[in-house]
Amino acid sequence: MKKKNICRISRRNLPEKSLRLSSGKRHRRVYWTQTDREKRDMKMWDMRSSIAVTCSLPYGTGSRLPGGGGTADIVSYAREMGRAYIHIDPDGGTSVLSETNVFFKGLRHLNTLNAEQTPGGTDEEMCWFSETLRNGCAKYGLSSDLIAPLEEDIIPAFARIDQLAMHYQKRHLNAGTMIALLATLAVATVTIQVLFIPHHPEVLWLEFLEMATIIGTIIISRRGEWHRKWIEYRIIAEQLRAYPFLILAGMNPTERRGTDPGDHGADDWTGMVIADFWKHPPSLPESIHENNTAIFNFITGEYLEDQARYYRKANSRHENRDETLEKVGIGLFIITMLASALHALGVGHSSAAHDAVLQIPALLTFFAILLPASGGALATIQVQREYRKNALRYDAIARQLTILIRRMRASQTLETSREILGEAYALITSENQDWRITLIVRQLHPA
């Protein structure tokens, strides 16, 4: 008799025919076998528990009190498990969301992604990525037919989301640059009015417009969620970029944590999107693994080495930009020091200089005020874009990828190659996830 079918009970709670008595020296135990109704109830409970745990979003109508079976028990169990659910009142038609509001926030983000207009350049990127994969197959002796199933859903989805990520990245970064420069321009406007045209206070309306533009840009950016969309769309795009290589290697990254919604964080809607793609992978030819060596050479050359080249270029680009902004900022502060020194030494303070059209003291004062503000604006841009930090990060990732590529080249077994590819994928995706944390504090704000 199975353990789950045994229960200690009293005689009065069971019909006589279900009792099985066994005598002992000190006590008597009463055993019973489940009735058909009890077996049915247990199966129903197992089904309800499974629904509450695996369903993407449980919802139901009717009584909200558990114990009566049916929907009420499912909703109660979902609440105990911390799952999100919706209860609809059949009388008034009103709906009540569970306390897990972050889950519903993620669904709203998903709806926003689905409603996005396809940006220009998507078709070109889709053709480029497809052609790159096909050329890679030809280079490593693989059939280009391997890429055809990926061209139906995966490659178009990658191209669209990648273009959306770049679109919102440009918006966010350009808005940040504009805010920093407008703040400097506002300082220049008021300085010019006070020093050169004091009898025209109406010029200060320009400063009013500059401040209004800064505030308007911040409001539009936050309402449009440019920053969030850039980061989260980039996370999805980079995982879709890796999709063709992982599926050719016979790997499914979601199997490590499962594809059920409960296996993802409540706010990890991007993980739910990727898991959904892996639930219905494209069908590949059965003969795909007849030449694993060629497949992993293709993966190494077209994915790992390509990513390593990208991170090396990104490291060099961010280092150069960081150095340029630092040098320009230092130069502005040095010029400010010279202007302040000349002003303090009384250069241009003669009566003739004051009567001249070009007023040297006023110009020195202007530069002494404006140049530090300009240096501060450049420093704001430098910090917002994380040039130095990203350069160090990209250099470290490029080095680690180089080591993984060497290990992949020396790999002798399929299991080892898959393990190395899994490490590389985890490295790249963790870098993408770090952006969510690093740049979440880089929301646009007045400089």
Q: What is the pLDDT along the chain (447 residues), one digit of tens a residue?
A: 444 333 333 334 434 443 344 444 444 444 445 556 666 666 666 666 666 666 666 666 655 445 555 666 666 676 676 666 666 666 665 556 655 556 778 888 999 999 999 999 999 999 999 999 999 999 999 988 899 999 999 999 999 999 999 999 999 999 999 999 999 999 999 999 988 888 999 999 999 999 999 999 999 999 999 999 999 999 999 999 999 999 999 999 887 654 444 444 445 789 889 999 998 898 887 777 778 899 999 999 999 999 999 999 999 999 999 999 999 989 988 988 888 888 788 776 655 555 555 577 788 888 888 888 888 888 888 888 889 989 999 999 999 999 999 999 999 899 999 999 999 999 998 877 766 665 555 565 555
What tokens were used for 187? 């300082």
| Rounded (10°) CA dihedral 21, 27, 33, 35 | 100
Map tokens 């859903």 to a residue: 153
With 0-12 / 13-18 / 19 or more C-beta atoms within 10 angstroms meaning exposed / middle / buried, residue 52 is: buried
* 420/414 Cα distance (integer angstroms): 10
The model's pTM is 0.77
What tokens were used for 381? 């841009």
What tokens were used for 51? 């629904």
Strand partners, 30: 21
DSSP character string of 73-113: HHHHHHHHTT---EEE-TTT--EEE-S-HHHHHHHHHHHHH
